[in-house]
């Protein structure tokens, strides 16, 4: 049995906690440890998550393995907060939507600290602060973001993810996976947020041209960045996710509905700004970026 710390109590963090707690001691790091009971609802069943709860101030030992499933705009602060509590050879596993430049984090890691990125298509939503609803399974992928992580990748898989995670893949080129995940985010999240619809609704013909144009821009910019994406493959991937998660509500749709900040800056905003860096325009992504920002500001 290993100790696994999870920073925060978002939907994905709680879904990961539920699976990991079946074989390991899981400790949620929250802002307030007074909330000690977390629940998972799956279908008609509900059960308490077998997790412990602590805060950064209450930590009295170094962390060996920490999963950081936070919003893209929270990563910088989250890493600053958790960094003093990490062991010299800690395993840090990031998980978020959109793209975030990992260069600053990589530069501030100790020589033996391993940085991973985890992508998951598991669906979840939080109807209450201490409750997550499991909306459906999905592929989970793990890859290395630095050399120590490359050396530890198989061990981390065997210890943490070889049980209760299905389907699961370890990935050699995690940058490619991050771009592929970004394309899925671009195709689904902003439109579901604006339309306030389930993911599956985007399969309707009226959205086809917009999805095509969004992904075409993303693939053009990816290729300028040296990432070889093919439009037809990203369309197939996006529509497959729409089908597999047809009854799910995207995290961005939930954020907009609840008047929370979304991850649009790291999704359509990332494409728009990266296009500008190369002297190009990504007008469709830029339009959706501005639409979501207006909803946030309203």
Confidence of residue 231 (pLDDT cuts 50, 70, 90): very high
- Whether 135 shows a pLDDT value over 90: the answer reads no
Alpha helices in 3-126 (DSSP H): 11-20, 75-82, 103-107
Contacts of 158 (CB under 8 A, 6+ apart): none
239's CB contacts (< 8 A; 6+ apart) are 203
Residues 9 and 97 in one domain: yes
Q: Does residue 105 lie in a domain region?
A: yes
Of the listed ranges 81-90, 132-141, 207-216, the one predicted with least confidence: 132-141
Kindly give the pairing relationship between strand 131-136 and strand 39-42. Answer: parallel
Residue 196: give the domain boundaries: 175-293
Asked whether the predicted pLDDT for residue 1 surpasses 80, the reply is no
Which residues have a Cβ under 8 Å from the Cβ of 159 and sit 6 or more positions away? 2
CATH number of the domain within which 132 lies = 3.40.50.720
Q: Is the pLDDT of residue 169 over 90?
A: yes
Taking only the tens place, the pLDDT of each residue in 186-206 is 999 999 999 999 999 999 999
Asked if residue 298 belongs to a domain, the reply is: no
Whether residues 97 and 212 share a domain: the answer is: no
Q: Are residues 12 and 134 in the same domain?
A: yes
Same domain, 141 and 11: yes
The DSSP secondary-structure symbol of 201 reads: G
Same domain for 70 and 115? yes
Domains in the chain: how many in total?
2
Confidence of residue 123 (pLDDT cuts 50, 70, 90): confident
Same domain membership, residue 269 and residue 143 = no
pLDDT at 264: 97
Q: Do 166 and 207 belong to one domain?
A: no
The pLDDT value recorded for residue 298 is 79
Do the Cβ atoms of 252 and 269 come closer than 8 Å? Answer: no
Residues 20, 129 within the same domain = yes
Q: Based on the domain organization, do 119 and 258 belong to the same domain?
A: no
* pLDDT of 62 higher than 90: yes
Distances (CA, A) of 290 to 74, 122, 128, 215, 265: 20, 28, 29, 17, 9
Domain boundary at 172, 204, 226, which? Answer: 172
| pLDDT at 121 > cutoff 90 | no
Final residue of a structural domain among 111, 140, 172 = 172
**Quick one: pLDDT at residue 209?**
98
Give the residue from 145, 172, 199 where a domain finishes. 172
Residue 254: CATH number of its domain: 1.10.1040.10
- The predicted model gives 151-169 an average pLDDT of 94
* Sequence-distant (≥ 6) Cβ neighbours of residue 203 within 8 angstroms: 239, 242, 243, 246
Residue 223 has pLDDT above 80, yes or no: yes
Percent residues over pLDDT 90 in the chain: 86
Q: What is the pLDDT of residues 247-278, one digit of tens each?
A: 888 999 999 999 999 999 999 999 999 999 99
* Prediction pTM value: 0.93
């Amino acid at each position: 049995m290993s100790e696994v710390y999870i920073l925060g109590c978002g939907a994905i963090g709680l879904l990961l906690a539920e699976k990991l707690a079946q074989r390991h001691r899981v400790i949620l790091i929250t802002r307030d440890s007074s909330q000690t009971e977390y629940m998972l609802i799956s279908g008609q069943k509900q059960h308490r998550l077998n997790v412990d709860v602590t805060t950064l101030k209450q930590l009295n030992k170094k962390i060996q393995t920490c999963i950081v499933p936070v919003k893209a705009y929270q990563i910088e602060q989250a890493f600053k907060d958790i960094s003093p509590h990490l062991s010299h050879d800690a395993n840090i596993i990031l998980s978020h939507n959109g793209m975030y430049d990992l260069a600053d984090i990589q530069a501030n890691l100790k020589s033996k600290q391993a940085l991973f990125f985890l992508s998951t298509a598991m669906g979840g939503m939080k109807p209450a602060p201490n409750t997550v609803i499991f909306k459906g399974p999905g592929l989970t992928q793990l890859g290395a973001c630095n050399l120590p992580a490359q050396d530890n990748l198989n061990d981390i898989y065997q210890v943490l993810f070889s049980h209760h995670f299905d389907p699961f893949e370890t990935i050699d080129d995690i940058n490619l996976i991050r771009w592929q995940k970004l394309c899925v985010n671009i195709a689904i999240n902003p439109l579901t947020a604006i339309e306030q619809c389930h993911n599956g609704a985007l399969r309707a013909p009226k959205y086809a041209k917009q999805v095509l144009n969004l992904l075409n821009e993303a693939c053009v910019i990816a290729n300028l960045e040296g990432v070889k994406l093919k439009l037809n493959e990203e369309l197939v991937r996006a529509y497959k996710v729409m089908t597999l998660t047809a009854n799910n509500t995207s995290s961005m749709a939930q954020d907009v509905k609840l008047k929370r900040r979304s991850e649009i800056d790291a999704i359509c905003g990332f494409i728009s700004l990266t296009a500008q860096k190369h002297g190009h325009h990504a007008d469709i992504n830029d339009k959706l970026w501005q639409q979501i920002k207006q909803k946030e500001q309203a």
